[in-house]
Structure 1
Amino acid sequence: MDAKKLYSFALNPWVILGSLALGFAMGTVAPQQAVKLGFLGDIYVDLLKMITLPFMVSAVIFSLQRLFREGGTGQLLGRLAAVFVAFSIAVAVVGAATALIVRPGSNLSSETMATFGQMVGSDLNSSDTAMQLQGADEVKKSVSFTDVLLSLVPANIFSALASGDTLKALVFAMLFGLAVGHVPSRISDGLTYSLETIYHSCQTLVRWLNYPLPLVLFCMSAAQLGKTGIQPLQAMFQFVVAFFIASLIILVVAAVIIWRRSNNSFGQTLDSLRAPFALALATRSSATCMPVMIESLADKLGFARSRVELLVPLATSLLRVGPVVYYVTATLFIAQLYGRDLTAADIALVMGASVLAGFASAGMTGLVTVSLVGMTCAYLGLPFEAAFILFLAVDPICDMLRTLVLVIGNTAAVSLICPRPLKI
């Protein structure tokens, strides 16, 4: 099998899903052995993270420099702002509608409530479980707008790069790229060639790392299920289903948008999204998917590379559609779990708070991302701490969906902002 066929096999959606299914099966049948495989996934994700920041910084600086020389910056930024706002509102509406129709936190069985009680440290008595879930726990302090602004500015760029702070590195790259765009070509050409070399080298490394993807997915899914077991997934089944439905709707709409914006068939469009889809599932890190997102939009779908290379890092860092739909669904699930009736104004408040929490989640992963549900719950006076462990138990699955929605949704957003590719 030559390299091209092997690459195509590694990114085949059925191979990806099959690897996940086999991993889950091993995690269920042999959990102790499965946990030992987790180190392979950790090494793989660390390798991709190693590439992410050099790639992003070089792409943004290089693209902004080229964009200023070509012109059209103001029009591009205007379209970017409009699409970002529209997408944020749209995914929040989808999440709210799904949670209100499916109602995952209502009419739960006594067995499920007993499992909830056990997971939050109560006994198996359902009445005690209800008391635990409805207790007046102390609400976490919400993240203010000032805190969000302060988190954007890097006091020391080398410290931000060393700590892997994607958002601060992005702000530095944007400001530096704007400055480089005003430097005469005879002076800045040397930097341009260096950045282009770094950019293409990082893309090559990511392409190499896609070859062992099925094996990595198998090891990661097996290790994860071996650690948590199947019980948390059973207890939170209705929430996971609701979040899956909302995510699926957004993914389908995003794929249609990309198809309509490009001059390819629907089958060719889906084929171009194979690499971002697979890498999002494997890494659960949107930042590591940026090289393949750019490759899909520029090389396979024909969008202008100068625009794509700038917009993909911006969208990935600032347009947090995956976390937004998660926060809306999770907050409404908690409201239903506590028996709280919400008005239309309350639901609108949840959606607005979820958009803010999504923006605040930039650069965050795992437990920190989940904890921001407390920010949206605080606006309604809902205690989140007792339910926190419930979400943490199923977060590996939810994190896959969040990342997938973010990657494919942002790919659709970039396709709307960029001019349509010319027909060949």
Structure 2
Amino acid sequence: MNKLRQLPNSALVLVLCVVLGSVAGAFAEPLGEAAYVVGQMYISIVNMAAVPLLVVAMFFGLRQLMGLPRPGLRIGTMLMLALALVALGALVGTLAGVAAAPGLHLSEAAHAQLGRLILASGGDAGELRMALFGQGEQAADHLFALRDLVPDNFYGALASGRALGILTCTIFFGMAFAALSAEQTKVLNGIFESIYRTLEALIDYANLLLPVLVFGTAAHLVAHTQHEILSAMSGVISLFLVLAGALSCIALAAIAMRTGVSFGRAVACLRAPMLVGFTSGTATAAIPHTIEAMSARLGLSRGVAELVVPFGAVFLRAGSALYFALVASFVANLYGHPLAIGDCLMIVVAATIAAFVSAGRNGVSGIAAAGIALSALRLPAEAALVLFVAVDLICDGPRNLLSLLATCTVVALASAGLQAERAAAPLQPKHAFGEAAMVRLAFTRAQLAAVALCALVAASLIVVMGIGVGAR
């Protein structure tokens, strides 16, 4: 069973699944579709555990953080670092979009192909309504409403999956929970601990399906992605992949420098969460692996990790900010909209806001947040939804990986001055009579036969006594 659990953490196994999935998508599409359905079930299971894991982990994180030196300063540092890293992703994406100008020099054939895709997908879809804020009865039609941030019913926020409201209620409840004494919260602490470990085990077992998800996703991409679309959008896709890889390497270097280990050692310690985050399609699946890697392997504060990692998995979307900025630049160039300095600043701000607004959203609903940046430039949001939905699976893994490493960077920087929590190597037991003191039991064949005969006689007597009692 332990060897089976190592399969999702093996890069060789996952690469093999990608190759086999690509072959299945080209020559055995029904097999690939079946694997893709199983993979979507895996994502549903992980998302099911996401909200309770977020709540319980943040309870424990706040409780432990309150016992550390200068907790208020550390919380403020975490929030400022999270905002800075998301804004940095938006800034890098905007500058790269202006410098490389993806979508500006497309051929006539590529323009025609993208135009046909937009018309074919939006012909009967009607007008797409895209707004940032909403109030009252119409709030459900908007990306963000006041009740999403400060809900009047915590259970309603949990039932509807409103991540921002869940975070607000969790922080308030967690701070009150952390302010109580250990005696007052002894029973509740035990319940939360059991729930926490159960959710970790649930995600750990669900990750056994990760190779199936990788196989099915590769098959789905090969079978359903149009090569003309990939060719027309290859510029923005390749630019995003290069930027995401470069920023991920910078984040790993910062983590290695902060923890005092080599770059290779940092990569080795974070290999499991990086593989899970890159291939799972959801940022929540890597939460248990990330907490374990940052605390037990890299020696950072577990209290900080348990608070930041679940928060960052939902809200610290540096990869999404980078992606949204490139989406806005590509669509602006596609429609011949020149980007002035004011437009660039607007893209940075809008992409940062969109990254936070997309918290808890995956797939099409997450891409819809890009409409904030496009609406700021008065560009059609339908273009982003139609074009980028077609290639979202390609960009999803690097986007989640960059967001994961940005979260790990916040953990590393916020743990400054705290005692290392690396798991200590077990000490070799010292024996009073030398190193080789050991009790050995040795039996001859005759002795073993006598023991077996005695056990058989005893078992026969028990059976006879049972029959006698039953007969009476």
For the criterion TM > 0.5, the same-fold answer is yes
The aligned amino acid for 2:16 is G
Pick one of 60, 74, 91 that aligns with 1:93: 91
CA distance in 1, matches of 2:157, 2:76: 29
CA distance in 1, matches of 2:49, 2:127: 40
CA distance in 2, matches of 1:314, 1:258: 18
SS in 2 for 1:186: coil
Pick one of 39, 51, 54 that aligns with 1:41: 39
In the TM superposition, residue 247 of structure 1 has moved relative to its aligned partner by: 1.1
Q: Which runs of 5+ in 1 are unaligned?
A: 124-131
Cα 1:386–1:87 shift into 2, 3 Å: closer
1:277-319 deviation digits (Å, cap 9, x = unpaired): 2222332111332222211111221111111111112222332
Pick one of 121, 134, 143 that aligns with 2:132: 143
Q: Does 1:168 align with 2:165?
A: yes
In the TM superposition, residue 36 of structure 1 has moved relative to its aligned partner by: 2.8
CA distance in 1, matches of 2:356, 2:340: 25
Cα 1:165–1:138 shift into 2, 3 Å: closer
Q: Does 1:204 align with 2:201?
A: yes
In the TM superposition, residue 16 of structure 1 has moved relative to its aligned partner by: 2.2
In the TM superposition, residue 8 of structure 1 has moved relative to its aligned partner by: 4.0
Contact 1:40 1:220 in 2 (8 A): no
Pick one of 412, 417, 421 that aligns with 2:414: 417
Q: Which residue of 2 aligns with 1:120?
A: 118
Give the number of the structure with larger relative contact order, counting CA–CA contacts within 8 Å between residues 6 or more apart: 1
CA distance in 1, matches of 2:226, 2:376: 33
Pick one of 247, 251, 272 that aligns with 2:248: 251
- Identity among equivalent positions (%) equals 28
Pick one of 305, 310, 316 that aligns with 1:308: 305
Pick one of 21, 34, 54 that aligns with 2:52: 54
CA distance in 1, matches of 2:193, 2:120: 57
CA distance in 2, matches of 1:279, 1:197: 24
In the TM superposition, residue 45 of structure 1 has moved relative to its aligned partner by: 1.3
Cα 1:70–1:245 shift into 2, 3 Å: closer
1:217-241 deviation digits (Å, cap 9, x = unpaired): 1123213433344443233222211
Q: Does 1:27 align with 2:25?
A: yes
In the TM superposition, residue 71 of structure 1 has moved relative to its aligned partner by: 4.8
SS in 2 for 1:311: helix
Cα 1:322–1:174 shift into 2, 3 Å: same
SS in 2 for 1:37: helix
In the TM superposition, residue 156 of structure 1 has moved relative to its aligned partner by: 2.7
CA distance in 2, matches of 1:410, 1:179: 25
Q: Which residue of 1 aligns with 2:273?
A: 276
Q: Which residue of 1 aligns with 2:82?
A: 84
SS in 2 for 1:210: helix
Q: Which residue of 1 aligns with 2:320?
A: 323
CA distance in 2, matches of 1:145, 1:348: 24
Contact 1:139 1:374 in 2 (8 A): no
The aligned amino acid for 1:207 is D
Q: Which residue of 1 aligns with 2:332?
A: 335
RMSD over aligned Cα atoms: 2.5
CA distance in 1, matches of 2:345, 2:193: 44
Cα 1:165–1:20 shift into 2, 3 Å: farther
Q: Which residue of 2 aligns with 1:291?
A: 288
Cα 1:386–1:45 shift into 2, 3 Å: closer
Q: Which residue of 2 aligns with 1:182?
A: 179
1:60-101 deviation digits (Å, cap 9, x = unpaired): 112212322445221112211331232123212221222223
Q: Which residue of 2 aligns with 1:226?
A: 223
Q: Does 1:66 align with 2:64?
A: yes
Contact 1:61 1:173 in 2 (8 A): yes
In the TM superposition, residue 148 of structure 1 has moved relative to its aligned partner by: 5.0
CA distance in 1, matches of 2:149, 2:188: 25
CA distance in 1, matches of 2:128, 2:31: 39
Pick one of 210, 215, 223 that aligns with 1:213: 210
Q: Which residue of 2 aligns with 1:372?
A: 369
In the TM superposition, residue 149 of structure 1 has moved relative to its aligned partner by: 4.1
The aligned amino acid for 2:301 is A
CA distance in 1, matches of 2:84, 2:378: 28
SS in 1 for 2:199: helix
The aligned amino acid for 2:8 is A
CA distance in 2, matches of 1:220, 1:151: 32
SS in 1 for 2:119: coil
Q: Which deviates more, 103-112 or 205-214?
A: 205-214
SS in 2 for 1:340: coil
Cα 1:116–1:262 shift into 2, 3 Å: same
Q: Where do residues 372-391 of structure 1 align in structure 2 (5 Å cutoff)?
A: 372-391=369-388
1:339-374 deviation digits (Å, cap 9, x = unpaired): 221112211111111111111111111112212222
The aligned amino acid for 2:186 is D
SS in 1 for 2:261: coil
CA distance in 2, matches of 1:279, 1:339: 39
Q: Which deviates more, 360-369 or 20-29?
A: 20-29
Pick one of 153, 172, 184 that aligns with 2:150: 153
CA distance in 2, matches of 1:193, 1:414: 26
The aligned amino acid for 1:111 is A
Contact 2:374 2:380 in 1 (8 A): yes
1:78-125 deviation digits (Å, cap 9, x = unpaired): 2113312321232122212222232221111222122112212269xx
Q: Which residue of 1 aligns with 2:441?
A: none
Pick one of 16, 19, 22 that aligns with 1:18: 16
SS in 2 for 1:270: helix
Q: Which residue of 2 aligns with 1:127?
A: none
Contact 1:140 1:374 in 2 (8 A): no
Equivalent pairs, count = 410
Cα 1:89–1:164 shift into 2, 3 Å: closer
Query: TM-score by structure 2 length?
Result: 0.80
Query: TM-score by structure 1 length?
Result: 0.89
